[in-house]
Amino acid sequence: MVTFQDIIRRLTRFWEEQGCILQQGYDLEVGAGTFNPATFFRCLGPEPYRACYVEPSRRPTDGRYGLNPNRVQHYFQFQVMLKPAPLNIQELYLQSLEAVGFNLKEHDVRFVHDDWESPTLGASGLGWEVWMDGMEITQFTYFQNCGGLPLKPVTGELTYGLERLALYIQKVESIFDIQWTGDITYGDIYQQSEYEWSRYNFEESDARLWLQHFDAYEKEASLLVAKGLVIPAYDFVMKASHAFNMLDARGVISVTERTSYIARVRQLACDVAKAYLLSREKQKFPLMPRFKGIREEVPVKLTPKERLPEELMDASSDEKMDYLLEIGSEELPASFIEPALESLQGKLRALFDKENIPYTAIEMYGTPRRLAACVKGLSLAKPARTEERKGPAKESAFDADGSLKPAGLGFFKAVAAKPLALQEIAAGRHPKVRLREIGGKEYLFATIQEDSRPTTDILMETLPDIILGIDFPKKMRWSDLDISYARPLRWIVSLFGNHIVPFTVGNITAGRESTGHSQLHPWAFALVKSEDYLPILKDHKVIADIAERKKIIAKKIREIEECQGAVAAEKEKVLNQVVNLVEWPELLTGTFKAEYLKAPTEVLISEMVEHQKYFPLIKKDGTLKSCFIITANTRPTDKVREGNERALSPRLADGLALFEADLKIPLHELNERLKSITFQKDLGSVFAKVERLTRHAALIQQKLGISTPEQCARAALLSKCDIASRMVFEFPELQGTMGRHFALAQGETAEIAHAIEEHWMPKGEAAPLPSTPTGIVISLAEKFDNLLGSALVGLKATSSSDPYALRRQALGLIKILIANSLKLPLRELMQDLIDHFPLELRKRKEGAVDEVLEFLMNRIRTVFLEFGLSKDAIEASASIGFNDVYDSFLKAKAFQNFREKEGRFYKLFEVYKRVKGQLTSQKSINFSEALLEERAEIALHKLLQTTEEPFHSAVSSGRYDEAYRMIAEIQPALATLFDEVKIMAEDPKIQGNRLALLQLVFDRFSKLLDFSKIRE
């Protein structure tokens, strides 16, 4: 049997043979091997370094009292740091697994996208979680930043989960059953320790003491940095980080306040990193000459152009071949692949259009390890063409004496022609530029002759930039190269027919060699011609066509559904993820213990879908089946099935254990715990927030007249109770949902239970809104509290950052009001709500209300557009204020209906345009009925009088469609007025009175919107 010690020994031996220093774990509590100075310090600056060590790590929140088979608060990581990251680091990693004792052909080894980040260290990197049969066994990262500093060269970091490797290789179900040696188990050494430390971390630790520790460590670290004692200062950064982790385990830091604590530790780490780098620079980077042979430069050889095949270089534009470009890399994030293919296709189209190179079509293919474009029927040469370009007029191009002006010089430069004086041009002595008369005026014209050029020449010149310019959400650097891509490049195929089109990108030379499936056919092979691409890849167990892979997976899902008598849940969501996680999809089913079904369905599905990328199966009666579908990227063996079952079971067991433990805690006790959880330092505890929500809800319920005061009070009181639960700590995305489960289990009504869940809604841009009356009230109270509270303490969303999700809160509030036809006077309501905040914060009352109103106004425009309202209707409504969201929405919608359905609108608008100049410039003149002379103006005034009361009644009661119909009824009388009456009469009094009459007409519009904002 391979013991725990054997695994450590074998990994140590392997990496020692790769030139690593054998270091030791650090003598302080750290959350991961990255904190060890051997990684944190050594990845900074230009000095090479290689080290490996076992790091005892502590994450207090992961403690499970020694009862969970796969979760412990103290564990061991085997850390490897390689600087610069070797170009073959991925191969070395896989070889290290074989050195441990794994036969990789028997397992589904997957590199799953994970953009690693250590916020407290100001460190980040790109890479993967490495999964073996569904269980994460290693964190594989290319460091990009550390201590807030960009890294060059890039460090490769491998963090092996030693316990997980041992679980697999020893085929045991529990960490505590791992054989440390032949006769001593992991549990013999550490299980009691897990129990006692879990008790301390969660129950007995003194939160006030750890708060004092945090402040003291923070202060000491700052003092030591100032004194130039960088290495001791970093020890206190680690101590502060651990103090934060202890506070986190005690649940005394809310999600809101965590951001502040993390920022404080990160600032210390950044200060230390900068000081350390300066220290090494003063020492002239003493390790620069060491670690010889870490990376050997391989000279890049390109075929000279004169030695390229004549078939490519001497061809005409009438000759065509297929061109293949395949960009091979380490595993791309699944979500990057399809957008990247669109980007690459767009760039190729733009190139061929710009160069006027004909082609038939561009077919795109992609897998986790390759992006490919096959350009069908691409001309072997760019056709010759002649283009005539018009320049400036003669007078603009030349002075009176015939010398060139700036405009003329600019034209000559633009057409790459030698500048000549006017006399020379007029005499026809310029080979490219001449004068030509158009409409009696002379202009400069240039004839630009473009010669035919081999397409190969253009491809060689442009493809490197096109490849490096592909749009990805994130790009990375690797090793010591000066290029960036989504993941390290490994090969490039560039074939025009059966000929190589050579070029270089970084250390890669384009050729004809591709690579097969990473496990089923893990070797390179040569492509003879571009047309062979898809069939040859299939021979090497790669299906490059995304649509074909998706069809295969969907077909196999249907077959399993029929066999199981069930339906796959979250089918489209999971399918769109797994299709780009595999190159050769194989499906199989796994099972889990039926007892786990006692946990909430949402928890089980979350684990299977979000974490494991499985398809849960739902029975015909709508309940969950203890069975799931696995998408493998290798042969679907029993070992792969058993491995995935072993990966899922501890997660489900953990969820069930946490749920059952939380159910035993009364809701009032959970609420009591909220008093010790800080919501935000100036806004108090989460319980203080609950008390505000209770008062907010009472006021909002009274104004809306929905639900009941008793239901709103109870739902608000319990709205945050699940935050104090272990379930929500472990599954924060289920906050509210778990509150509903807890409330129902403890006898609360369905209305209150659903309100607890719904008050978080909407959770995303297109997510559901609350549907119960009580849920609506509490959700609005929550959003007003967050928006007003943030304004009162100076927390704002910026264009690049919104850590408190204020935009989502605002959009949700607006959508709830519109969707439920709820009228609320925002300013008046918020002025009352602010009285529920601490007295010392109320000093900013008016400023805070104005700030929130402005913030809401910008979001209201966005939501109104989503509801199909036109921009000018929205702006016309905005001009008279958005104090009542739903009322403003009704006004804008009524106007839009009026414009679209009432033909008389445009006639009214024509009248408005005719007189708006006079109306805006006219001083205010009182209208006098006595000055009316003509029949038409008397009739219009009488119509205004008879409709005035019904119109104002319609407006005041919100019947805006009816109000617009009454405005439309004025149009015939207005038309008659303009046909029969001279508005701009000779008599100033009559003229002013007639304009005042028109103003009475358009004053009606101002009750609904600002007519001047309307566009035709």
Mean pLDDT of 580-585: 97
pLDDT at 918: 63
pLDDT higher than threshold 50 for residue 801: yes
Residue 89 has pLDDT above 60, yes or no: yes
Helices and strands per DSSP (H, E), number in the chain: 36, 29
pLDDT digits (tens, 9 = 90+) for 107-156: 999 999 998 889 999 999 999 999 999 999 999 999 999 999 999 999 99
DSSP assigned state of 305: G
Q: Say yes or no to pLDDT of 909 above 90.
A: no
Q: Where are the alpha helices (DSSP H) in 922-1013?
A: 935-956, 960-968, 971-980, 988-1006
Whole-model pTM over 0.85: no
Token pair 């005061």: residue: 709
CA distance 42 to 51: 9
For the segment 427-451, the average pLDDT, to the nearest whole number, is 88
Specify burial of residue 161 (Cβ count, 10 A radius: 0-12, 13-18, 19+).
Answer: buried
**Partners of 513 in beta bridges:** 526
**Of 708, 685, 842, 860, nearest to 773 (Cα)?**
708
pLDDT of 244-274, one tens digit each? 999 999 888 877 788 889 999 999 999 999 9
Three-state DSSP state, 991: helix
Contacts of 814 (CB under 8 A, 6+ apart): 856, 859, 860, 863, 885
Collapsed DSSP state (helix, strand, coil) of residue 525: strand
Average pLDDT, the chain: 91
- pLDDT at position 51 is 97
Backbone angles phi, psi at 132, to 5 degrees: -115, 110
Which of 554, 542, 656 is closest to 615 using CA atoms?
554
What does each C-alpha distance from 104 to 12, 133, 585, 625, 629 come to in angstroms? 20, 11, 17, 31, 22
The pLDDT assigned to 284 comes to 93
pLDDT tens-digit map of 558-575: 999 999 999 999 999 999
Residue 119 tokens read as 């916020």
The span from the first CA to the last CA of the chain, in angstroms, equals 82
Element (H, E) at 842: none
Distance separating alpha carbons of residues 5 and 21, to the nearest angstrom: 19
| Short-list 112, 184, 119, CA closest to 148 | 119
Q: How many CA atoms lie within 13 A of 151 on its CB side?
A: 35
Domains and CATH numbers, the chain: 4-280 (3.30.930.10), 311-382+454-540 (3.30.70.260), 385-450 (no CATH), 546-664 (no CATH), 667-867 (1.10.3210), 898-1013 (1.10.730.10)
**Residue 573: alpha-carbon gap to chain centroid:** 16
Cβ-Cβ contacts under 8 Å for 350 (sequence gap 6 or more): none
**Tokens representing 854?**
């402005």
The b-or-e profile of 883-919 (16+ CB within 10 A means b, else e) is: bbbbbbbbbbbbbbebbeebebbebbeebbeebeebb
pLDDT in tens, 166-181: 999 999 989 999 999 9
Cα gap 367→542, rounded to integer Å: 8
Closest C-alpha to 699, from 686, 711, 712: 712
In this predicted structure, the answer to whether residue 299 has a pLDDT above a threshold of 80 is no
- 3-state helix, strand, coil split of the chain in percent (to 5) is 50, 15, 30
- Distance, CA of 469 to chain centre: 20
- For range 815-832, the mean pLDDT: 94
Are residues 228 and 81 in contact, defined by beta-carbon separation less than 8 angstroms? no
Residue reference for tokens 């049997």: 1
Residue labelled with tokens 């008389």: 904
pLDDT digit string (tens) for 371-404?
Answer: 999 999 999 998 888 888 899 999 999 998 889 9
Contact 146, 130 (CB under 8 A): no
- Provide the 8-state DSSP code for 105: G
- Among 80, 67, 15, which residue's Cα sits nearest to residue 187? 67
- Closest to 420 in 3D by CA, of 406, 401, 433, 407: 433
Mean pLDDT, rounded, for 222-236: 96
Beta-strand ranges (E) seen in 451-488 are: 453-454
DSSP-based three-state secondary structure for 601: helix
Burial of 785 (0-12, 13-18, 19+ CB in 10 A): buried
The per-residue pLDDT for 242 is 96
Q: Concatenate the DSSP letters of all residues of 761-820 into one string.
A: ---STTPPPP-SHHHHHHHHHHHHHHHHHHHHHT----SS--TT-HHHHHHHHHHHHHHT
The SS3 assignment for 959 reads coil
In this structure, are residues 615 and 571 in contact, taking their beta carbons and an 8 Å threshold? yes
pLDDT score, position 701: 97
Alpha carbon distance 536, 398 (integer Å): 64
31 to each of 76, 238, 243, 279, how far by Cα in Å?
10, 9, 11, 26
Q: How many CA atoms lie within 13 A of 889 on its CB side?
A: 25
Q: What percent of the chain has pLDDT over 90?
A: 71
Cβ atoms 65, 110 nearer than 8 A = no
CA distances from 487 to 152, 328, 473, 490 (A): 16, 10, 12, 9
Instruction: Report how far residue 192's alpha carbon sits from residue 7's, in angstroms, rounded to the nearest whole number.
Output: 23
Pairwise CA distance, residues 325 & 365, whole Å: 10
- List helix spans (H) across 356-405: 394-397
Which residue is associated with the tokens 């979500």? 335
Residue 972 tokens read as 């015939």
For the chain, the residue count is 1016
SS3 239: helix
> Which residues, 6 or more positions from 273, have their beta carbon under 8 angstroms from its beta carbon?
40, 44, 122, 146, 147, 148, 149
> What distance in Å separates the CA atoms of residue 105 and residue 1016, rounded to the nearest whole number?
69
Residues 574 and 632 sit within 8 Å (Cβ to Cβ): no
Cα separation, 848 vs 851, whole angstroms:
5
pLDDT at 304: 55
Please report the beta strands in 633-780, taking only residues with DSSP state E, as ranges in sequence order.
Answer: 678-680, 684-685
Phi, psi of 23 (to 5 degrees): -95, -175
Contact 152, 477 (CB under 8 A): yes
Cα–Cα distance for residue pair 1011/362, rounded to 1 Å = 50
d(CA 494, CA 325): 5
Q: What proportion of the chain, given as a percentage, has pLDDT over 70?
A: 97
User: What digits encode the pLDDT tens for the residues 46-83?
Assistant: 999 999 999 999 999 999 999 888 899 999 999 999 99
* 880: pLDDT strictly greater than 80: no
How far is Cα 776 from Cα 779, in angstroms, rounded to an integer? 5
Per-residue pLDDT reduced to its tens digit, 401-430: 889 999 999 999 988 888 988 888 888 888
- Rounded CA separation 428/442 (Å): 14
* pLDDT score at 297: 46
The sign of the dihedral angle between the CA atoms of 782, 784, 787, 791 is negative
What pLDDT score does 920 carry? Answer: 66
- Whether residue 716 is predicted with pLDDT greater than 70 in this model: the reply is yes
Question: What is the identity of the amino acid at 28?
Answer: L
